[in-house]
Amino acid sequence: MPESRSPLRALWSWAMYDWANSGFAALVQTFVFAAYFTKAVAENETVGTAQWGTMMGVAGLVVGLGGPVLGAMADRSGRRKPWLGAFTALCIAATGLLWFVGPDASFAPLALVLAGIGTVGSEYAMIFYNAMLPDLAGRDAIGRWSGWGWGLGYAGGLVLLIVALYGFVQPPGWFGVPHADALHVRAVMPLTAGWYMVFCLPLFLFSPDARATGTPLSRAAGQAFAQLRDSLRHVRDHKAIVIFLLARMFYNDGLTTMFAFGGIYAAGAFGMSPSEVILFGIGLNVTAGLGAAAFAWMDDRLGPRKTILASLTGLMVPGVAILLVTDKLLFWIFGLAIGIFVGPIQASSRSYLARTAPEELRTEMFGLFALSGKLTSFLGPFVVGWLTLATGSQRLGMSAIIGLFAIGLAGMLFVPPAITKQGDLHE
């Protein structure tokens, strides 16, 4: 077991938040509600794809612009749990309210607003969650705990997808929910909200928070803006982080877009039913979880930079294949192969910043981390959505994702190595 600063109970409780949070990404943003929206709520699939992409882009822009400010405020005030709790509650509430979205175009505005609010809450919560890791884990164990957290997240998404598929979506279902007015699909939303609420509790009960500084919130806000101005003014002092965040801005946009449209693409291009889409999601969570856990060791031994480069290559090759094949079996094969590299690139990105960010600016840096993931996050969904609308082809629209991965890969070649142990540099 790697060295850590905190008791194992505190670390596993922290990692369980990934288990809790992953349900929103898996069931709302990707495999259930997104597909339900485009096929049953929106006017038609093409319009629905464009609307979903637009809302995800707007939500991403809100997160990107507000994340650094909130992160800097948390650095000034010290504690992170209150912020984490507030945005977790926001996401849970929005997710539960998606139950009221019926299969009619008149519900499209409500669906989009709630999905956007839930996305903002989920992403803001992750800023403060990520910033807790370096305080809990020793420097030589950050990569492993980051990877294990992502692995637990995919395991949680897997279990929840299984419950959603066999308990609600696939007839007759364990709970006998009727299919009239898509009640069997809509019921998955309060299930997801309840899952998030229950499994986030260990973190709040057992993982220690940073000490409060005693700085009033109003003063912390003023100091946060001053700190951000100072950080931007002295950006050359953090050159390694800047190059990394610029590279991540593009490859994370590719990941975000892939998540937002994965279920939509499976349903549209390959004619998958809701049950098949969820089954694909289950398989993807298995390969992603295994990849995140396995590559966690690579992160600590070889460094997060090499892990990210290997993962980007692993995403692009089967990604191109998916856009070319028309056979559903080949889509399954290449799609599951992509999953192996999704977890490692996310875990190692978090690990790289945790190793390189100055301690006194850590939450602010994770705010910038969110900014790098969201500043252009509107670009991918917008391009995919409107390219699909213009050409009438989801395949042509989805090709934008490969371009974003390629730009990110090129940027990572200029990123310096991170510190994995005190005084040691690794690629």
Model pLDDT, residue 17: 94
The share of the chain scoring above pLDDT 70, in percent, equals 81
- Convert the pLDDT of each residue in 69-78 to its tens digit: 777 677 666 6
Among 41-50, 153-162, 367-376, which is the least confidently predicted range?
Answer: 367-376
| Residue 421, pLDDT above cutoff 90 | no
| Residue 214, pLDDT above cutoff 70 | no
- Convert the pLDDT of each residue in 82-123 to its tens digit: 889 999 999 999 999 999 999 999 999 999 999 999 999 998
Q: Does the domain spanning 8-426 belong to CATH 3.40.50.300?
A: no
| Bigger pLDDT: 420 vs 395 | 395
Model pLDDT, residue 37: 92
- Convert the pLDDT of each residue in 367-399 to its tens digit: 666 666 666 666 777 777 777 777 777 777 777
Model pLDDT, residue 89: 97
Pick the most confident of 29-38, 309-318, 382-391, 409-418.
309-318
Assigned token pair, 342: 């999704």
Model pLDDT, residue 423: 44
Model pLDDT, residue 210: 72
Asked if 208 and 10 touch (Cβ cutoff 8 Å), the reply is yes
Pick the most confident of 307-321, 322-336, 368-382, 386-400.
307-321
Model pLDDT, residue 172: 73
Q: For 326-340, what is the mean pLDDT?
A: 85
Residue 394 C-alpha from the chain's centroid: 22
Model pLDDT, residue 188: 92
Model pLDDT, residue 236: 63
Q: Cα–Cα distance between 286 and 101 in angstroms, integer?
A: 30
Among 36-40, 240-244, 377-381, 419-423, which is the least confidently predicted range?
Answer: 419-423
| Residue 23, pLDDT above cutoff 60 | yes
Model pLDDT, residue 253: 82
Pick the most confident of 84-93, 219-228, 263-272, 306-315.
84-93
| Residue 190, pLDDT above cutoff 50 | yes
Model pLDDT, residue 216: 65
Model pLDDT, residue 169: 77
- Predicted confidence band at 135 (pLDDT cuts at 50, 70, 90)? confident
Give me the chain's average pLDDT, please.
80
Model pLDDT, residue 147: 74
The share of the chain scoring above pLDDT 90, in percent, equals 19
- Convert the pLDDT of each residue in 231-284 to its tens digit: 666 556 677 788 888 888 888 888 877 766 777 777 777 777 777 777 787 787
Listed by start position, the domains of the chain span 8-426
